[in-house]
Every structure is written in structure tokens, then in C-alpha cells.
Chains A and B, each alone.
Chain A
Amino acid sequence: GAGVSQSPRYKVTKRGQDVALRCDPISGHVSLYWYRQALGQGPEFLTYFNYEAQQDKSGLPNDRFSAERPEGSISTLTIQRTEQRDSAMYRCASSPSGREAETQYFGPGTRLLVL
């Protein structure tokens, strides 16, 4: 079946612009996670949802970052007034309920470059 998809795959923007990154999880997956990965580093947690409820946003670096999942499926990560330090790979993952709930399935990521 289809895996986690993310769009766009690449995004180049100018400093100060807002960007919206989309994640379409595996169908039926309850939980959805956002991570950010800097070059040469492992992914770092940003936020996660169970269904439409945002359960933990402790990893969001500041109030320019926000996320939503209004219908419990597709999620959007929005970065307002982008800065050069926001340049990174943004990864989305989803996980099912039940016995496989501990396994997170990752999408291909969106590479964001802020000029």
C-alpha cells in the first residue's frame, strides 16, 4: 500500500516568507509526527498528533512554528516569517494503533532552503 507522502519534496523560499509543508500519513494511522533534521544530524522531534489532537508540541522551536491535523489525517506544518536557520529536512512519520503502535513509518521528507 501507499506509504507516507510529503509535499513539496523541495522548497526554496526567501527569508521572511511563510511556508506550509504537507504530510499525508498511511491510511488508518492514528498518530502523526513531525521531525526536523539538520545536515549531518539525526531527526529531532517537533510535535505529534493522535487523531486530530496535538498531544505534544514541546519540540517546536518557537512560536513561528505551528502544526495542525484538523480531520485526523493530513497534517500541515507551517513556518511563519522564515529565517535562514530554518533550512533543514522536515520529516513526517505515522504509526498505527495496537501492537504496531511503537513503529513509526517515515515519509521522504521536505527539504527546505531559506535564502
Chain B
Amino acid sequence: AQSVTQLDSQVPVFEEAPVELRCNYSSSVSVYLFWYVQYPNQGLQLLLKYLSGSTLVKGINGFEAEFNKSQTSFHLRKPSVHISDTAEYFCAVRAIGSARQLTFGSGTQLTVLP
């Protein structure tokens, strides 16, 4: 089984400041990793994913994440946030193999302040 921990439930940050949203996971098998964003009253939208290859992954809206296997982490970063980045962010993992479902963390609410 897999588990995902997002330690920060709320992250307030000023506009144009950098931000890091933390994600750690636990799994007995290799995993794929994902970050999804949920804007108010909308569905989950994929930001980026790590399947294989380079451990630094770039996604939409200027976000990037780095897979660190030794620390079992997949932290999400953006060098300069905008008001429009205010949303809830979910980290998720999927075991490589027959199991297809995603296991999500509890989410981090990012609030960008003017």
C-alpha cells in the first residue's frame, strides 16, 4: 500500500514570492508521482507528473517538482507566484504495476496575498 503526506495544510505567501509545497510518500514498490491543482468549484487538473527519466519535472503555469528517491519526496516549487495560483494542491502516487488507482495526500491550500 502507498501513503502520501502533505505536511502543510495551508501556505500563505505574498505575490511574486517563491513557494514550495512539500510532499512525502511511502511505498514498498516503485511509484509514479503526480501533482494536481483544484481551483474553486472546478475539478482536479493535472499540473505535472513524474514517470521516469529526469528527476526535475516541469509542468503548467510555471510549476516544477523534483523527485528525490532517497528522501521519498516530490516537492512542488514555483519561483514567483501570482494571485491566480490561489488553489488547493494535491500530491498523488500510483504504484507501478497492476494497481491503477491514485493515492492522494490531504492537500495544501495555497493562498497568494497581494
Contact = CB atoms under 8 A, between A and B. Distances in A.
Interface of A: 3-4, 31, 33, 35, 40-45, 48, 55-56, 59, 91, 93, 102-109
Contacts of B107: 40-42
A26 B109 CA distance: 28
B43 A4 contact: yes
Nearest to A33: B101
Classify chain B: how many residues form its interface, as a range: 20 to 34
Contacts, number: 55
Query: What are the 9 closest A-B residue pairs judged by CB atoms, nearest first?
Result: A42-B104, A45-B101, A106-B44, A106-B43, A108-B43, A43-B104, A42-B106, A42-B90, A107-B43
A41 B106 contact: yes
Contact of B43 (A31, A45, A102, A109): A109
B102 interface: yes
Given A41-B107, A102-B32, A48 B101 contact: yes
Given A41-B106, A45-B102, A103 B43 contact: no
